[in-house]
Structure 1
Amino acid sequence: MDRWVGKTAVVTGASSGIGAALSVELANAGVNVVGLARRTAPIDALKSQVKGVGSITARQCDVSSAGGVAAAFQWIEDSFGCVHILINNAGVLLQGGITDVGNDMLSEEDVLSVIDINLKGPILCARHAIASMRSNDFDGHVVNINSIAGHYVPWSSKFNVYTSTKYGITGFTASLLNELSDHNNKIKVTSVSPGLVRTAMATGAEDHVPALRPKDVADAVLYVLSTPPTVNINELTITPVTERRL
């Protein structure tokens, strides 16, 4: 992680769960973190956990809003300069049906919210982050927090369009890698796909079911970032020991 000390990382969905753990671990590794979320107070509260030489700065941003994302990245560029690392972590899972066959159909607003936050947001953020990396002539790293649900559809239909968005992240990561390769660009892109993680999103999961801690996922991301400039981990799947296919 030495090459990232003093550099700037943007973490979306930084107010809780994996995003909060990532912000703290990166700051403790010497990285200056800009945490994006709709609520900034929880990000500000993370500063007390920073023991390293890095920092955490909160910025309000709804990643589903193209204008909001553009404004946030312009502010980051003006305040910090280059975006060296982008971690697309913001995500939402709203349980319910795609249709009304089970009498629990999600509202149209909820369906569009899941798609906008989980898929549109990462694409918008990556476009701005890569533009910053290129304008500053820096070979940075984009990490997309995916899910095992981006590789197979779990047994429960309550995942509804969430799985579609995570399959979309798998495809987006591969497409972005191909585009960068076509132009001999050395910016890295990695998809990190956790199994069940004990976060607010996993509310309802049984306590005895094996699950990762948010810090486990953060440690995996730091491992990905620590690889040498000549090595890219395209996909990393991380699950708790004894987790079965959901």
Structure 2
Amino acid sequence: MERWSGRLALVTGAGSGIGAALTRRLVKEGMRVVGVDLNVEKVQALGEELKGQPGLVIPLKCDITKDDQVLHMFQRIAQKYGGVDVCVNNVGIMHNLTLMNGTPEEWRRMMDINVIALCLCTREAAKSMLERGVDDGHIIHINSVAGHQVANFPSMHFYTASKYAVTALTEGMRQELRQTNTNIRISSISPGVVRTEIRDTWLDTEATNKFYHEYPSLKPEDIVSSVMHALAAPPHVQIHDVMVRNTRQQY
């Protein structure tokens, strides 16, 4: 990880869960981390917690479903910090609705966050790297095992569709980067069940606790380990897609 020390990483959804755990690790490795979250106060608190570490946290509020805000974010990063060397598309949402009772509004919001914002951040990060001649940049998608199989969880079926899109987009971007004759890499990290706040959006506390009791889960730090493995690989090695499950997870 020595070559990443002092360089800049963008992490979306940095205020909680996998994003917060990854921000902590990258800062401890000496990176400057632009932590993006709608709840920027959480990222600010994380920055205070990590003062004295080799790197630092740069909190930034951005609604990644708003194209103009995302573009402004990248412009601001370029003007103040030079540009992005690592981009981690971490933020994602899901809803507790089946395809039979879901609504277009909720489907569109899930696609806006899980797919469209991911594509826009990826495009702008790659552009930043290419314009500056950064030949070893890295883009990482926090995907899901749901992006590889359709499990019999009806309330997750639209979420699954959005993550299948991420799987396809990872390979598509890999091919496009190869056509630019660059060594910029792209990786997809696909966790199984992870105990984070994402299920708080569609389950109450009792249901959430029951879910995690029934389905063995991973910790955010377990996913961070896989991200670090991809980042630390030699520049000529692309860790393309890693699936990470609890050893007792069934699907």
The residue correspondences of 1:17-166 to structure 2 (distance < 5 A) are 17-50=17-50, 52-99=53-100, 105-139=101-135, 140-166=137-163
Q: Which deviations, in whole Å up to 9, do the C-alpha atoms of 1:38-78 show, x marking residues without a partner?
A: 11000111124325310111111111111111011111111
Unmatched tracts of structure 2, length 5 or more = 201-207
Mapped partners of 2:124, 2:138: distance in 1? 13
- What is the alpha-carbon distance in structure 1 between the residues aligned to residue 99 and residue 152 of structure 2? 15
How far the C-alpha of 1:110 sits from its partner, in A, is 1.3
Q: Deviations over 1:76-129 (max 9, x none)?
A: 111111200000001001111223xxxxx2332211110100000110001110
Task: Give the corresponding residue for 1:102.
Answer: none
In structure 2, the residue corresponding to 1:161 is in which secondary structure? helix
Residue 241 of structure 1 and its aligned partner are, at CA, apart by 1.7
Runs of 4+ in 1 over 3 A off after TM superposition: none
Whichever structure has more helix as a proportion of its residues is 2
Q: Supply the distance in 2 between the matched residues of 1:189 and 1:137 (Cα, whole angstroms).
A: 16
Count of equivalent residues: 240
After TM superposition, the structure 1 = structure 2 runs for residues 187-198 of structure 1, keeping only pairs within 5 Å, are 187-198=184-195
Equivalent residues of 1:149, 1:167 under 8 A apart: yes
CA distance in 2, matches of 1:244, 1:202: 19
8 Å contact kept, 1:11–1:23? yes
- Normalized against structure 2, the TM-score is what? 0.92
1:179 aligns with 2:185: no
Match of 1:9 in 2: 9
The structure 2 residue matched to 1:169, chosen from 166, 181, 184, is 166
Is 46-55 or 21-30 further displaced after alignment?
Answer: 46-55
The residue identity in structure 1 corresponding to 2:74 is F
Q: C-alpha distance in 2, partners of 1:179/1:211?
A: 35
SS at match of 2:78: helix
> For each residue in 1:15-54, what CA deviation from the matched residue of structure 2 results, as whole angstroms up to 9, or x when unmatched?
1111111111110110000011111000111124325310
* d(CA) in 1 for partners of 2:89, 2:148: 18
Alpha-carbon deviation of 1:135? 1.0
TM-score (norm 1): 0.94
3-state SS in 1 of match to 2:212? coil
| Identical columns (%) | 34
Aligned residues of 2:140 and 2:188 also touching (Cα < 8 A):
yes
Q: CA deviation at 1:208?
A: 5.0
For 1:34, give the aligned amino acid. V
Query: How many Å separate the matches in 2 of 1:241 and 1:85?
Result: 30
Please give the root-mean-square deviation of Cα atoms over the aligned residues, in Å: 1.2
The 1-side partners of 2:215 and 2:123 are apart by 37
Aligned counterparts of 1:236 and 1:167: Cα–Cα separation in 2 = 14
Specify the code of the residue in structure 1 equivalent to 2:151: P
